[in-house]
Chains A and B, each alone.
Chain A
Amino acid sequence: GDSVTQMEGPVTLSEEAFLTINCTYTATGYPSLFWYVQYPGEGLQLLLKATKADDKGSNKGFEATYRKETTSFHLEKGSVQVSDSAVYFCALSDQEGGSEKLVFGKGTKLTVNP
């Protein structure tokens, strides 16, 4: 079946450092790819998405590019802030019967220190 593998962490960075969280996937079809973020005590929020090869999703300074040849969707940010501390989840969806069922990676906890 479909699966997502992401860097498990935890990752600890200083403010203004560069962030990369690796994510690779296995899928039988042609999935859409997502990054979700979870702040403490909250549900998941969509951070960015891409639906076809070479698409770049971006939001709040975060970026990820859908790479079909390497089956990857790595998350990057040029300069992290303390407020970026959260758990980040890579996910894919393969539309089946009209539903976009998500398959998640295990999550990467990011802590940014001042």
Chain B
Amino acid sequence: NAGVTQTPKFQVLKTGQSMTLQCAQDMNHNSMYWYRQDPGMGLRLIYYSASEGTTDKGEVPNGYNVSRLNKREFSLRLESAAPSQTSVYFCASSARAPRGQPQHFGDGTRLSIL
């Protein structure tokens, strides 16, 4: 029962470098999400994908891009990393119906940008 798998688990980057965070789910969920977690801020939504082929901005999308590669995979890209993007990144997925579906989270990627 893998659920939501995120890779890598840890990463250190230098300012200006780029990287892609990978996320895959095996629950046949339509919707997928990317969040960042910062101390004292809770989780904030970066981007989400309601279904394969669609993506939309969340609360804090600046500096990020996403790709919904297929129903299983949803990647997050930092084109030019900045120290302000140091955070823990979580991917999640959920079914679309009925109302009130919970989200299932991966274990996170801990990203440090120097």
- Which residues of A line the B interface, CB within 8 A? 4, 8, 32, 34, 36, 41-46, 49, 51, 89, 93, 95, 97-107
Q: In whole angstroms, what is the CA distance A41 to B44 when docked?
A: 18
Whole-angstrom distance between the Cβ of B28 and the nearest chain A Cβ? 15
| Complex: A89 Cα to B90 Cα, angstroms | 14
Q: A34: which B residues are within 8 A, CB to CB?
A: 102
Q: Which residues of B contact A106 (CB under 8 A)?
A: 40-42
- Answer whether A98 and B107 are a contact pair too, CB < 8 Å, given A32-B100, A51-B100, A105-B42: no
The complex places the Cα of A67 from the Cα of B4 at a distance, in Å, of: 32
Q: Are A45 and B56 in contact, CB atoms less than 8 angstroms apart?
A: no
**Residues of B close to A102: CB separation below 8 A:** 33, 43, 45, 103
**Nearest A-chain residue to B43, judged by Cβ:** A104
Assess whether A95 is in contact with B99, with CB atoms less than 8 Å apart. yes
- With beta carbons under 8 angstroms apart, the residue of A44, A93, A97, A98 that contacts B100 is A93
Q: How far is the CB of A38 from chain B (nearest CB, A)?
A: 9
Docked pose: A93 CA to B98 CA in angstroms: 13
In contact, A100 and B42 (Cβ under 8 angstroms): no
Q: Are B107 and A43 in contact (CB under 8 A)?
A: yes
Give chain A nearest CB distance to B107 CB in angstroms: 5
Complex Cα spacing A102 to B32, Å: 12
Q: How far is the CA of A6 from the CA of B51 in the complex (A)?
A: 31
With A98-B30, A101-B58, A106-B41 known as contacts, the answer to whether A49 contacts B102 (CB < 8 A) is yes
Question: 25 A-B contacts, Cβ less than 8 Å apart?
Answer: A8-B40, A36-B105, A42-B107, A42-B108, A43-B4, A43-B90, A43-B106, A44-B43, A51-B99, A95-B99, A97-B50, A98-B31, A98-B96, A99-B33, A99-B49, A99-B50, A99-B96, A100-B100, A100-B101, A101-B58, A102-B103, A103-B45, A104-B43, A106-B40, A106-B41
B58 CB contacts on chain A under 8 angstroms: 101
